Amino acid sequence: MDPRFRAYISAVTVAGVVVGVASIVGVPLWPSIGGDTGLALWIGVVLLGSSSSVRMPGGTIVDVGIAPLVACAVLGGPAAAALASAIGTLELREARGFIPWLKGGVPWYGSAYNHAAVLIPSVLASLVYARIAGTVFHADAVTLLGVLCAGGLHFAVNNSLTAGALSIREGRPFRAVLASNVRQFGYSLAGLVPVGWLMASMYVVAGPIGVLPFAVPLLATRSGYKKVVEIRDMFTQTVRSLASAVDAKDPYTAGHSVRVQLIAKDLGAELRCSEAELEALEWGGLLHDIGKIGIPDAILLKQGALTKEERMVMNAHPVKGEEIIRPVQKLAPELPIIRHHHEWFNGSGYPDRLVGHDIPRLARIMHVADSFEAMTAARPYRMTPLSEEQAISELHKFSGVQFDPEIVAAFERVIARRPEWAAPNIPKHLLERPIPRLGDTVKAVPA
């Protein structure tokens, strides 16, 4: 585990324990929650809301428990907020973390951090509410203002803590992770805060039965989150199928697109790309060679050197790829990557002979990832993959000529961390044949 990540989750967990103990021991329950019986009810409601969590594309876990959690915090105060956060947010996958042979569990330290990251903002939210509306809940405009402020603070602190953990663990910029989370589900979660006020109001007016009608909108919101994830997964699967069509046409590039995608994302994270840029690298990596669908097999699979005319046909694949993908509006950010991933830093690449930083940055990243993967894989024109040392040497040799020097330097840091990217990629149909030793033959970086 990264020492910075360990220090971060340890600090948040310790802070959560201190805040929780101080709240439970030092602050009595506020009267509006109805004593221990009411507290138990609200913990159960929070538990139901938190049990239907959905993992969002960026790795953040989202549930609809914020509405009952805010209601509990403003009805019962810091003690109720702490207990509801500690007990009401328990999940089955946390229990799995204590059973070694079960998959999908959360390590104990992850569970401790997750509860602390909810407890701290919940207690702070109750304190802010008390400053605005007092400790006795009334269904009026003042308490609505207090709940809105408390809910806003809860959302801001909780998401900041989560973004901090993801930023350190995955090497992504904090602001990019936070912005991505807000963009994905911020508005819908913010909409749940007034629902929390309505739940608290109905509880004060009608008792426990007043909370029941809110199950429907909460479940509908959770269903909306799930649909977002399902649609994105379906879109990703479609993109993967398109990439597989290229791999199926050329048996030598089997798995190439997926490997380039993974390398490019790691390289983008090292270069502090935003969440949107990492997503563009993800899909751009899968689709960067989609234009090869339009290249005749006689050229694409030729083992000897290409003639000038054949080279012109082959070099047209970035433009063909752009033409294929352009009608898909969702993939507009990937078009510059697809078109320009063979541009050279000195301007001698194709198709537009762009120079230096005129080449889109993501295309320069993709060019390094694509070239390294190609060098460490078997190809019709070079059956023996290059070793890691030879491939890195080629990147250095062409740094400032073919590749952006800054990106080459960043790639060296990535490969030091992820040596698996240098493992030779040899297609299955070649594994039964005798393969020469790695590094027997060195050929210049593919254009």
Residue 435: predicted pLDDT? 41
- pLDDT (average), residues 340-350: 94
Mean pLDDT, the chain, whole residue set:
81
What average pLDDT score do residues 111-124 get?
A: 91
- The yes-or-no verdict on residue 422 having pLDDT over 70 is no
CA–CA distance, 176 with 60 (Å, rounded to integer): 13
Task: Please state, in angstroms and rounded to a whole number, the distance separating the CA atoms of residues 274 and 427.
Answer: 34
Residues 93-121 have a mean pLDDT of: 72
Lowest-confidence segment of 10-19, 245-254, 370-379 by average pLDDT: 245-254
Q: What is the mean pLDDT of residues 58-80?
A: 80
> Any idea which of 153-157, 268-272, 428-432 has the lowest mean pLDDT?
428-432
Q: Residue 16: pLDDT above 90?
A: yes
- What band does 211 get if pLDDT is binned at 50, 70 and 90? confident
User: Does the pLDDT at position 444 exceed 50?
Assistant: no
Q: How far is CA 194 from CA 74, 85, 121, 182, 258, in A?
A: 12, 19, 17, 18, 44
Report d(CA 62, CA 54) in Å as an integer.
5
End-to-end CA gap in the chain: 38
Whether 114 shows a pLDDT value over 90: the answer reads: no
Helix (H) or strand (E) holding 146: helix 141-170
- Where are the chain's structural domains? 3-231, 250-431
Structure tokens at 157: 């602190």
pLDDT at residue 421 greater than cutoff 70: no
Encode pLDDT of 158-192 as tens digits. Answer: 889 988 988 888 777 787 777 776 766 565 666 77
For residue 279, what pLDDT is reported?
A: 85
List CB contacts of 303: < 8 A, sequence separation 6 or more: 380, 381
For residues 71-89, average pLDDT: 92
Quickly tell me which residue has 């199950």 as its tokens: 215
> What pTM did the predictor assign?
0.63
Is residue 92 predicted with pLDDT exceeding 90?
no
Alpha-carbon gap, residue 331 to 283, rounded angstroms: 8
Alpha carbon distance 423, 51 (integer Å): 41
Assigned CATH topology for domain 250-431: Hypothetical protein af1432 (1.10.3210)
Q: 141-148 long-range contacts, Cβ below 8 Å, gap at least 24?
A: 143/74, 143/197, 143/200, 143/201, 144/194, 144/197, 146/74, 147/70, 147/74, 147/193, 147/194, 147/196, 147/197, 147/200, 148/193, 148/194, 148/197
How would you write 46-77 as a 3-class SS string?
HHHHHHCCEECCCCCEECCCHHHHHHHHHHHH
Does the pLDDT of residue 2 top 90, yes or no?
A: no
Per-residue pLDDT, averaged over 131-138, amounts to 93
Q: What is the dihedral of CA 88, 92, 95, 99, to 10 degrees?
A: 180
